[in-house]
A and B are shown apart, each in its own frame.
Chain A
Amino acid sequence: DTGVSQNPRHKITKRGQNVTFRCDPISEHNRLYWYRQTLGQGPEFLTYFQNEAQLEKSRLLSDRFSAERPKGSFSTLEIQRTEQGDSAMYLCASSLPSFLAGSTDTQYFGPGTRLTVL
């Protein structure tokens, strides 16, 4: 399977614990995005990487959230001191840059990691 993969698929944690999620994008994609989706809502943009550089961050990404993409391949999203409001589906997507993809910027999504904070 050469699609975007995310691990773990489900995570249950207690409030105050730290959690880390991993995303493996499609291998030739140099753009990587993190989104958060709560029940009944559309995905909300969190952050975006081009290669290893984190180029944009949403105001939704509080200082308890940190994302890395150290070698421009896989990415991790860490949430420190989790709160019940962090319970959501965390989605990762990857894409080719427009000039390589023939002026398209289709994002390919992974299956998501569902976080439940008790």
Chain B
Amino acid sequence: SQQGEEDPQALSIQEGENATMNCSYKTSINNLQWYRQNSGRGLVHLILIRSNEREKHSGRLRVTLDTSKKSSSLLITASRAADTASYFCATDVTGNQFYFGTGTSLTVIP
């Protein structure tokens, strides 16, 4: 079974709005990563946050991690139509295996 669960499953917003998606996981982790996947394509790495970090920024992306709640959030600010994609969190538990969540499908309406 998959380690992570993203919430919501689907999100539709207007261009320029912020998008927030959440990830919950079950076991202790080394790090957590967020990936984007455009329809029918491979995954693109967005950002990695380590278990001893609480917040990271990369451009319009902001990721938080709360290890006590076993949860993470991804915030995309000032969304663009090109941000339309599925977003997955992936947890690194063993250093060799990565467990992906079920994904959040984001639609940004121009």
Q: Which residues of A contact B (CB under 8 A)?
A: 4, 33, 35, 40-45, 48, 55-56, 58, 89, 91, 93, 98, 104-112, 114
- B42–A106 contact, CB under 8 A? no
- A42–B101 contact, CB under 8 A? yes
Tell whether A106 pairs with B33 under 8 Å between CB atoms, given A44-B100, A45-B99.
yes
Contacts of A45 in B (CB 8 A): 97-99
- B100–A108 contact, CB under 8 A? no
The contact of A111 among B42, B97, B99, by CB within 8 Å, is B42
Interface size on B, residues (CB 8 A): 25
Residue of A nearest to B5 (CB): A42
- A56–B4 contact, CB under 8 A? no
- B102–A107 contact, CB under 8 A? no
Residue of A nearest to B9 (CB): A40
**A interface footprint on B23-37 (CB within 8 Å = 1, 0 otherwise):** 000000001010100
B65-110 with Cβ < 8 A to chain A: 88, 90, 92, 94-103
- A105–B41 contact, CB under 8 A? no
Tell me the smallest distance from the CB of B26 to a CB of chain A, in Å: 14
Q: Which of B2, B31, B44, B96 neighbours the largest number of chain A CB atoms within 10 Å of its CB?
A: B96
- A43–B97 contact, CB under 8 A? no
- A109–B43 contact, CB under 8 A? yes
- B42–A33 contact, CB under 8 A? no
- A106–B98 contact, CB under 8 A? no
Tell whether A111 pairs with B41 under 8 Å between CB atoms, given A48-B97, A56-B97.
yes
